Structure 1
Amino acid sequence: MSEQARTSGVTVRHEPGESRWAAYDGPELAGVAVYELADDPARVVFPHTVVRDGFEGRGVGSALARAALDEVRAAGERPVEPQCPFIAGWIGKHPDYADLVV
């Protein structure tokens, strides 16, 4: 998976050591999409997405969702289980990502 993507004025980085994709506005953490790698069956579970106060309404959550799902798709190894209401809702609004869902 690519290490980072620039979207909506923030830089989104995959931080596998933290099990998250993180959005940065310069050096400041703007939000995270947390994930878990489940094995039975194999899938990427998104339990939680958080956008910090002051960054809401600026597309940070959408940038996180798009970058994370694009990287999961590129890896092609695991389907997605969107437990997080934000990720589930984002996929619902972007049906071209529905094929990733378990």
Structure 2
Amino acid sequence: MKAEYIGLPLIKDDAAKQFELTVEGHKSFIRFNETPHHITLVHTEVPAALEGKGVGTTLVEKTLEYIEQSGKTLIPLCPFVFAYIKRHPDWKRIVDPGFKGFDH
């Protein structure tokens, strides 16, 4: 995570079902579905103005930290999140044991 993004708050908007991070006036988000036991991340979107600045990675990292602290497990259906976890396999520790996507 880039140093300039560390202090930015991750917002969990339950009504919109998305985790949000605002950088330079632009909102990036990850859409989610939630049950009492896990959070499924389904889609990540970063505005074109922020692409290539590490915002997407920061959003994923902050979201994974939130999920870990919540005690829930993760189902990473979003291709961006899935790819991030493949590059950082230590995050598999929060992936729901029923998710078999990394086995292929």
Please give the TM-score of this superposition, normalised by the length of structure 1: 0.79
More strand by share: 1
Q: Is the 8 A contact 1:12 1:64 kept in 2?
A: no
Three-state SS of the structure 1 residue aligned to 2:51 is coil
Please give the TM-score of this superposition, normalised by the length of structure 2: 0.78
Segments of structure 2 that go 5 or more residues without pairing to the other structure are: 97-104
More helix by share: 2
Segments of structure 1 that go 5 or more residues without pairing to the other structure are: 1-6
Equivalent residue for 2:29? 32
* Residues 68-95 of structure 1: per-residue CA shift (max 9 Å, x gap): 000111111x210000000000011111
Identity %: 22
Indicate the RMSD between aligned Cα atoms, in angstroms. Answer: 1.7
After superposition, residues 1-102 of structure 1 pair within 5 angstroms as: 8=2, 9-10=4-5, 11-17=8-14, 18-26=16-24, 28-38=25-35, 42-76=37-71, 78-102=72-96
Number of aligned positions between the proteins: 92
